[in-house]
């Protein structure tokens, strides 16, 4: 079986401007929603109490809502979680009140209404922890960005490092944009997914860059645009198949992982889709505009061998 029967190199770079315009538009939209709507942060970041309770019959959300409101909590959220019988309640962090007692108070009130209610899970996070998590999350992001750029700069060239990181950070912003637009809950697991995606979709750019470098050595008569087109064309089959395989796994999580893994898998799905787009259409184009040349990439090889030797191989 073969999905990709491509006869000629696809002139990706000819349309680079269009692709990048689309990309920029999505990016701008994502930023817009991030600013206007903001992320719906989970209890882990905001601090507060989260309770998951289960009824033996489908739960009456309005009743639960009024019961919880009757206890004098300001901004509470009551919603179904997974099934109609499971209810999730979020309580904001209260100053002074030991929030450890919050869940007990709510539980007692719910029990009074309906004795069949059982507590499945509670989570309480103090406000100081939330702030730290935010800080640690940003630190981790900075570490990943710096680490990847440094590695790519050493392994390839700074122009590649810059374009790869731009392409992939734009993926990250788009994932966040989706979470802001749909007001999906942004939890620690989603943060982990976002960072994993960042590491993963850089792969794509790396694969294409590897091929560009190799092509510069092999096809000495082609110009930069042709070289890049060829590199993308000859790796596209691999790009789509690997991402497809990873997506199979993620899809399986989306289907079988339940509510807890839902947004984690969602973040990965968006990341994978835009990962393909950005590494194929965006990263290489930026490298091209930054003026990547044959000399940039072949220089280091001169030390240990003849760069014109076709059988020299791609291994550095």
Partner 1 sequence: MNRYPVWKYAIIVIALLLGALYTLPNFFGEAPAVQVSSGKATVKVDIATLGKVEDALKAAQLAPQVLALEGNSVRARFDNTDNQLKAKDAIQKALIPDPADPPYVVALNLVSRTPAWLASLHAAPMYLGLDLRGGVHFMLQVDMQAALTQRVESLAGDIRSLLREKEVRHGGIARNGQSLELRLRDAQQLAGAKNVLASQFPDLLVNEAAEGSEYRLTLTMKPEAARKVQEQALKQNITTLHNRINELGVAEPVIQQQGLERIVVQLPGVQDTAKAKDILGRTATLEVRMVDESTEARSAELGQGAVPFGTERYLDRDGRPLIVKKQVVLTGDNLTDAQPGFDSQTQEPVVNLTLDAKGARIFKDVTRENVGKRMAIILFEKGKGEVVTAPVIRTEIGGGRVQISGRMTTVEANDTALLLRAGSLAAPMEIIEERTIGPSLGAENIAKGFNSVTWGFLAIVAFMCVYYAMFGVFSSLALAVNLLLLVALLSMLQATLTLPGMAAMALALGMAIDSNVLINERVREELRNGASPQSAIHAGFDRAWATILDSNITTLIAGVALLAFGSGPVRGFAVVHCLGILTSMFSAVFFSRGLVNLWYGSKKKLKSVSIGTVWRPEGGSAVKAD
Binding to partner 1 (CB under 8 A): which residues in 84-103?
Answer: 98-100, 103
Q: Among 25, 249, 293, 305, which residue sits at the site for partner 1 (rule: CB under 8 A)?
A: 249
Of the CA atoms within 13 Å of residue 17, those in its CB half-sphere come to 1
* Shortest Cβ 86–partner 1 spacing (Å): 10
Which residues ranging from 295 to 314 are in contact with partner 1 (CB under 8 A)?
Answer: 310, 313-314
Is position 237 an interface residue for partner 1 (rule: CB under 8 A)?
A: yes
**Between 134 and 153, how does the x/- string for binding to partner 1 read (CB under 8 A)?**
--xx-xxx-xx--xx--xx-
- For 100, how many CA atoms within 13 A lie in the half-sphere containing its CB? 1
Cα 298 to Cα 291: distance, rounded to the nearest angstrom? 15
Q: Does 234 bind partner 1 (CB under 8 A)?
A: yes
Smaller CB separation from partner 1, 65 or 155 = 155
Distance in angstroms (rounded) separating the CA atoms of residues 165 and 152 = 9
Answer yes or no whether residue 315 interacts with partner 1 by CB under 8 A.
yes
- Closest approach of Cβ 35 to partner 1, in Å? 25
Identify the residue whose tokens are 């697991």.
189
DSSP 8-state class, residue 121:
E
Residues 168-197 interacting with partner 1 (rule: CB under 8 A): 188-189, 191-192, 195-196
Q: How far is the CB of 165 from partner 1 (least distance, A)?
A: 10
223 binds partner 1 (CB under 8 A): no
CA of 309: how far to CAs of 26, 216, 303, in Å?
44, 12, 13
Q: Where are the beta strands (DSSP E) in 112-260?
A: 118-125, 185-186
Q: Are 149 and 165 in contact (CB under 8 A)?
A: yes
Shortest distance in whole angstroms from residue 245 CB to partner 1: 4
Dihedral of CA 285/290/291/295: which sign?
negative
Task: In angstroms, give the least distance from the CB of 177 to partner 1.
Answer: 20
Beta strand pairing call for 40-41 and 185-186: parallel
Q: Give least dist CB 90 to partner 1, A.
A: 14
Please tell me the distance from the alpha carbon of residue 136 to that of residue 132, in angstroms, as a whole number: 6
# binding residues, partner 1 (CB under 8 A): 88
Show the binding pattern over residues 105-124: x = contacts partner 1 (CB under 8 A), - = does not. Answer: -------------xxxxxxx
Cβ 17 to partner 1, closest distance in Å? 25
* Residue 101 CA to its chain's centroid (Å): 36
Asked if residue 255 binds partner 1 (CB under 8 A), the reply is yes
Cβ(49)–Cβ(43) below 8 Å: yes
Cβ contacts of 252 within 8 Å, gap of 6 or more: none
**Which CB, 29 or 169, lies closer to partner 1?**
169
For partner 1, which is the closer residue by CB, 36 or 98?
Answer: 98
Please identify which residue in 13, 174, 268, 276 interacts with partner 1, judged by CB under 8 A.
268
Q: The tokens of 116 are what?
A: 């069949």
């Amino acid at each position: 079986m073969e999905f990709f029967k491509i006869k000629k190199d696809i002139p990706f770079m000819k349309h680079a401007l269009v692709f990048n315009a689309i990309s920029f538009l999505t990016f701008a939209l994502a930023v817009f929603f991030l600013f206007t709507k903001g992320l719906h942060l989970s209890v882990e970041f905001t601090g507060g109490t989260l309770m998951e309770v289960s009824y033996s019959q489908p739960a009456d959300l309005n009743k639960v809502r009024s019961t919880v409101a009757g206890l004098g909590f300001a901004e509470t959220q009551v919603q179904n979680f997974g099934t109609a019988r499971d209810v999730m309640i979020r309580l904001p962090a209260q100053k002074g009140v030991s929030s450890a007692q919050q869940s007990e108070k709510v539980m007692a009130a719910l029990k009074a209404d309906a004795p069949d209610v059982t507590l499945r899970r509670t989570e309480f996070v103090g406000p100081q922890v939330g702030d730290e998590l935010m800080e640690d999350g940003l630190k981790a992001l900075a570490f990943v960005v710096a680490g990847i750029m440094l590695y790519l700069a050493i392994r390839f060239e700074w122009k590649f490092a810059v374009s790869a990181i731009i392409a992939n950070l734009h993926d990250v912003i788009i994932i966040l944009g989706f979470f802001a637009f749909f007001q999906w809950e942004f939890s620690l697991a989603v943060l982990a997914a976002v960072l994993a995606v960042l590491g993963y979709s850089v792969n794509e750019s790396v694969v294409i860059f590897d091929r560009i470098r190799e092509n510069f050595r092999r096809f000495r008569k082609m110009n930069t645009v042709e070289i890049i087109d060829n590199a993308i064309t000859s790796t596209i089959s691999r790009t789509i198949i690997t991402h497809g395989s990873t997506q199979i796994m993620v899809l399986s999580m989306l289907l079988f992982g339940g509510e807890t893994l839902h947004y984690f898998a969602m973040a990965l799905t968006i990341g994978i889709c835009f990962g393909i787009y950005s590494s194929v259409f965006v990263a290489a184009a930026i490298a091209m505009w930054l003026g990547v040349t044959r000399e940039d990439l072949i220089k280091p090889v001169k030390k240990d061998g003849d760069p014109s030797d076709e059988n020299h191989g791609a291994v550095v």
